[in-house]
Structure 1
Amino acid sequence: MTGPRTKRLIPIAVLVLLAVVLWFTLFRDGRGGAGDDLIASGTVEATEARLGFPATGRVEAISVREGDAVEEGAELAFLDRLEMTARLEQAQAHVVSSRALLLELERGFRSEEVSQARAALDAANRRVDDAKQAFDRTKRLLEGGAVSQEAFDRAQVARDVAESERTRAEEQLRLMEAGPRRERIQAQRAQLAQAEAAVHAIEAGLANLTIRAPFDGIVTVKHREPGEIVAGGTPVLTVMAPDDRWVRIYVPENRLGAVGLGASAAITSDTYPDQEYPGEVMYIASEAEFTPKSVQTTEERVRLVYAVKVRITGDSALTLKPGMPADVRIALEHPPS
């Protein structure tokens, strides 16, 4: 038989149950008394670059330490470059010599060289005249029986040799006056271009032996030490962009429509519970993160969540670090009823 005390406890239990249901309805999605905010937990992330060398080699030096701030383009580490530097110097010397030869061909022969060729031709003409006179004299003497046939043959050979030398001197003078052939100049230009291409290829190889900062950032991890042999693509340093950090949270499907790009947010962390950092919504995923991506019942559809990135806009001291858990409160555009 139910006593009076039991009857009095039943209404109290009902009221407590109703209060629990009401609290769950109001606060289950992170809505406080104002009903205009969405609260979600996530993790701080940042743009990071894991930097390595395209080529395999021995690490000669690493010029930064963990925590150092670096500027875009700064040299952070490099492999042994002695052999490649020597090859570059050799290729550059080849370029210098090829360019000098091309310049000489384009300018043609010097006036002094042309004058020397003319003088050589004049000398050849005089030798021809002397040889002809000697030949004519020897011929007359031979007809008079004053010299032998052998002497006549020698005079004839000397005349022929002098005429041949004059022909060569004439050809040499014509070549100098005309200058180098166009085909030879073009061939030399091609050799110069080939030498310059070799220099560019070696310079590209040297660039692959150096790690440079891809952006302004902070060195967060030093994976290797000088003297180690590293394979191509192996991370040597990790650099973080401190101005590009965000908190990744997940919003239920039934609350997604109230979250807009650019919406203001407040970020807190367990490490610094009394500090609040401003932020704004920078990205809303277009597809649900969980599978299956399409379900049939209403009860299951509301369990789908969408990734949302909230950019950290007011943490110049870099208090919020990648990997740190954080809570985000977003001001909704039109809170659901």
Structure 2
Amino acid sequence: MADHDLSRLKIDRQAAAAGASIRPRRRWLRYAVIAVVLLALAGIALRLAGPRPVQTATVTSAYPTQNFTLLNATGYVVPQRKAAVASKAQGRLEWLGVLEGSRVKKDEVIARLESKDVAASFAQAQAQVQVAQANLALQQAELKDAEVNLRRSKVLIVPNAISRTQYDADVARFDKARASVNSSRASVVSAQANARAAEVAVEQTVVRAPFDGVVLVKHANVGDNITPFSAAADTKGAIVTIADMETLEVEADVAESNIARIRVDQPCELLLDALPGLRLAGQVARIVPTVDRSKATVLVKVRFVDRDARVLPDMSAKIAFLSRAATAQDRQPVVAVQPAAIATRDGRQVVYVVRDGKAHEMTVRTGDKLGELVAVQGVKPGDVVVLSPGDHIGDGSRVSTAKP
């Protein structure tokens, strides 16, 4: 019987341990893969079940005049008749009877300057007129006496009752008296002219409104020195600025490349930034026949056909030059929306209004196209609607506004 080496009979515990460790690793790897797949499926499910990101637009108001607008321009409201009112006289402002916004009538007294010096000059001129008139009366009496003596001398000279020398003296006296009367009459005329000039100087201290209008700016206060046609320190030129509000118009610079699309008396629509809900009819009044080379524009002036007391000078305005006059219906706003918001469901035209994170299906009725918008009925201005709603959007679908 052969001998056996029993020392070789032993268990390899390291190999058994290695095999045992590989099996749990493979098991955990399978678990990790399954977990990742489950997480991915859960994310997809949550994404499908969550709100869908959509592009939205706001329902707005539009006007039918957009369909026949040829050109748009911006400008400012200006009064055609405007004046910086001053006095021709120089002096201290004694009284001011108007404020900003005061309405005045033509020739109404709005201010007075100190007039004591010119009033005294006027009184002196009037006195000089009286002196000249008194001198004229004296010379006329002298002329009358000389005329009587001359007639007597003419009678007495025939029978040689008086000498020729006496007769010549009476003739010279008459001629001198007559010349004195003429001189006195000229003195009276001169004195009266000086009196009128002094009266005008007094009148010039009274400042009157040149036309019916409204005071826009008050440049001076009581006590200020008024020096017309001067920019001296501590003096004022104009006292107030007045504008005739009945002559308001809009001035706009139009590119010279577009001026051929504008004509005199062309109908326009005026929209004021300060009064966004107000649309006024206008008409092209004048096209200034010169081009501003620095801006390559032509100045166009549009008068108001419709007037509103709230329109003020220097308000900014938008002008729509129209191909035809707008009717009353054309100036009424209509509800409009972007065409991409309108979808067809079961033969109906609908839009999806977003409220509380959900899309609500609203049946609408479409109308005329207004520029890039379409008139609709069934929604109201301010509603937020879904743009380009696909088949995945339905009534009640959860949506969220996508970030651009």
TM-score bin (small chain): 0.5 to 0.7
User: Taking structure 2 as the reference length, what is the TM-score of the superposition?
Assistant: 0.53
Structure 1 residues 281 and 33: CA distance shift in structure 2, 3 A: closer
Higher strand fraction: Structure 1 or Structure 2? 2
Q: Secondary structure at the match of 2:100?
A: coil
Secondary structure of 2:247 counterpart = strand
Which whole-Å CA distance do the structure 2 matches of 1:193 and 1:178 have between them?
23
1:287 to 275, 286, 290: 290
Q: Within the alignment, does 1:225 sit opposite 2:221 as a pair?
A: yes
Q: What is the identity percentage for the equivalent residue pairs of Structure 1 and Structure 2?
A: 25
The residue aligned with 1:57 is 91
The one-character-per-residue Cα deviations of 1:201-252 (angstroms, maximum 9, x if unpaired) are 2123223322211111111111111122232231211111111111111222
Residue of structure 2 in register with 1:328 after alignment:
319
Match for residue 41 of structure 1 among 63, 74, 84? 74
Post-superposition CA distance 1:240-278 (Å, at most 9, x none) = 111111111122223212211122222111221111222
When residues 104 and 259 of structure 1 are mapped into structure 2, their CA distance, relative to the original with a 3 A threshold, is same
Secondary structure of the equivalent of 1:84? Answer: helix
CA offsets 1:289-316 (integer angstroms, 9 cap, x no match): 232xxxxxxxxxxx83211011123225
Letter of the 1:34 partner, please give it.
N
Q: Which amino acid aligns with 2:67?
A: A
Instruction: Mark the CA change 1:70 to 1:329 in structure 2 (over 3 Å): closer, same or farther.
Output: same
Q: Which residue of 2 aligns with 1:304?
A: 296
Q: Displacement of 1:32 after TM fit?
A: 7.4
* CA distance 1:183–1:43, change in 2 (3 Å): same
Instruction: Please give the alpha-carbon distance, in whole angstroms, between the structure 2 residues aligned to 1:188 and 1:218.
Output: 50
Distance 2:109 2:132 in 1: 33
Higher relative contact order (CA 8 A, sep 6+): 1
Q: Any stretches of 5+ residues in structure 1 without a counterpart?
A: 1-30, 119-166, 292-302
* Shift in Å, 1:58: 0.8
1:109·1:176 contact (CA, 8 Å) conserved in 2? no
2:123 is paired with a residue whose SS is helix
Matched, 1:70 2:66: no
Paired with 2:173 and 2:193, the residues of 1 have a C-alpha distance of 34
C-alpha distance in structure 2 between counterparts of 1:182 and 1:192, whole Å = 15
Q: Structure 2 vs 1, CA of residues 311 and 251 (structure 1 numbering), >3 Å: closer, same or farther? A: same
Q: Aligned pair in 2 of structure 1 residues 332, 307: CA closer, same or farther (>3 Å)?
A: farther
Note if contact 1:105-1:180 (Cα within 8 Å) is conserved in structure 2.
no
Aligned counterparts of 1:34 and 1:45: Cα–Cα separation in 2: 28
Query: Structure 2 matches for 1:171-320, cutoff 5 A?
Result: 174=170, 178=174, 181-233=177-229, 234-291=237-294, 304-317=296-309, 319-320=310-311
Larger Rg: 2
> Structure 2 matches for 1:59-138, cutoff 5 A?
59-106=93-140
Give the SS at the match of 2:298. strand
**Residue type matched to 2:318 in 1?**
D
Cα offset, 1:110, TM superposition: 6.9
> Does the CA contact (< 8 Å) of 2:253 and 2:299 recur in 1?
yes
Deviation at 1:85, TM superposition (A): 0.6
Q: For 1:65, what is the secondary structure of its paired residue? A: coil
Q: Structure 1 or 2: larger helix share?
A: 1
Instruction: Give the Cα–Cα distance (whole angstroms) in 2 for the partners of residues 199 and 87 of structure 1.
Output: 8
